[in-house]
Chains A and B, each alone.
Chain A
Amino acid sequence: MSSQSKDKQGPPPSLYLPLEEKLYRVRYEIDSDHAHIRVDPEVCGQCREKVCTFICPARVYTQDPEDSNLVQVHYENCLECGTCRVACTRGGVIWSYPNGGQGVKYRFG
């Protein structure tokens, strides 16, 4: 899955940043009362590819450690980019806009 393993050289240490470090530089207003993303466990249970677990640039979707057929959603990291909605063609991602003023809040954009 990871493209990095195929590279001859790794990025210089000062440039390399794991995703957690990248997301740390993004400003969010986290709405703890309202998860704007849900997944349909019926759909995920039938889905083998689980494209959402690698195509999301913020890794919002991860395999459920308890049940590898299911998907966990870390909606608080969502960049609201729309990729999951395009990638999940089975309709398993139920995505609505976060509440007004909540969610990602780019300082540069």
Chain B
Amino acid sequence: MEDGRVKTDVIVVGGGPAGLMAAHRLAQEGLEVILMERGAYAGSKNVSGLLYATVLSEAIPDFEQRAPLERPVTRRSFGFLDDEVFSYLTFGSRDWASPPFNRTWVVYRAHFDRWLAKEVEEAGATVLEETVVDDLLYDGEGENRRVIGVRIRGEEEPFFADTVILAEGALGIVTRKALETLGGMSQTPQVYGIGVKEIWGLPSGVIEDRFHLESGQGAALEWIGSPFKGLVGGGFLYTGKESLALGFIAKVDSLIAAGIAPYDLMESIKAHPEIGRYLAGGELLEYSAHILPEGGLRALPKLSHHGLLIVGDAAGFVNASFYHEGANLAMASGRMAAEAVIQAKLIGDFSRGALSLYERMLSNSFVMEDLRHFRRVPEAQKVFPRLMDVLPARFCRLLVDLYQQSTEPKRVQQREAFRKMMEGIPKLRTIKDLWKLKGMIG
């Protein structure tokens, strides 16, 4: 504090995985950090899928003993659904059922993020809840314009900092304004998916019976096919301790084009017997929704500026391939932003040049490596409507037809089953589409 101004080393805007991990690392190194979270508590605005915890386990090696985790994922299934027929590919490993549980966890973010915020406070950072950052504070003009703090709603005086880390999540209101002011908007506009989820309460024993789980183990199911009506998207079901999280992710544009309301889709996927059966006897505990950035590599903005770094969903760090990984990338980006700020502090230089260490670290890490590897996901998603209405159905039907009992010779039955599978499929276009779809798997 100098001449009455409130000044700190670092202000982190947003208490999700990216911001919390950044603040945690900075506080560990003894920097003065204030994290500002607009919700009543960290996680109160957040909606999760699975948590891949490889980065978390580096930051907090004993998190498994202390974090509020629901279940580790010990079994995974990919399901192809049609109205009448279905098929599943289920897999797992005995390794996954013992520590470190393949570092794949079902978590509820309102519990998990809140716990992580406590860890961050214990590491020495200040977490200000119910604090809305409306804008950044700038100094200088043009190329030399730099971020020197934040404006907080309801506070006349701004908060000053050497560096601001923007971790405000997918909504990115402050981030957008900052990029408009500083330049560095992505050349390709960001595109978004919407995730909608319901949490259903069920007794632990029922969940374990229904999903073939040993005590404390967990399952993750993902589906594509007819319940998703040719949208660019699919469904998921994850097991909590005494609850199930059922939902879907679909491209916002594809829902608009199809004229489908998210709550109607939610109801109609539950109407599929292969989905609804898992919820039977349960009780709805919560309904939630959130957008997620799916544009990948080409939609990333400029990440380092004078006095400013952008991390997590605000930057667009989501691997939207079939791995669908977001929180782990967010945590990695938060930690690397912190490392860059720690180095900048050592030399007393918070310019874009010094802070761009963040981008170099990212570039050499799995975060950018994965985004580069999956850079064709947006193109792959474009063929979804054509393929996903047909392929899962045909695949299921083929299996069912091959096992349909009859007095026909098997040779005839097999030929007929394969003929039906290919019937009416434009071969050349489908081969081209499949080639594009390959972008989803790298």
Contacts and interface: CB of A to CB of B under 8 A. Distances in A.
Interface in B334-376: none
B110 to A, nearest CB: 4
A1 B265 CA distance: 11
B286 A107 contact: yes
A66 B165 CA distance: 46
Dominant secondary structure at the B interface: mixed
Nearest to B169: A82
B288 A26 contact: yes
B130 A22 contact: no
Nearest to B261: A54
A69 B260 CA distance: 21
B280 A15 contact: yes
Given A79-B288, A80-B171, A106-B44, A97 B271 contact: no
A12 B40 CA distance: 36
B325 interface: no
A108 B289 contact: no
Given A3-B264, A25-B284, A25-B285, A100 B108 contact: no
Contacts of B291: 81-83, 86
Interface in B386-416: none
Interface range for A:
35 or more
B244 to A, nearest CB: 11
B262 A57 contact: yes
Contact of A86 (B43, B252, B280, B284): B252
Interface of B: 38-40, 43-48, 83, 108-111, 113, 129-132, 134, 153-154, 170-171, 173, 192, 194, 196, 198-199, 229, 243, 245, 252, 255-256, 259-268, 270-271, 276, 279-281, 284-291
Interface of A: 1-4, 7-12, 14-17, 19, 21-23, 25-26, 29, 51, 54-59, 79-83, 85-87, 95-101, 103-109
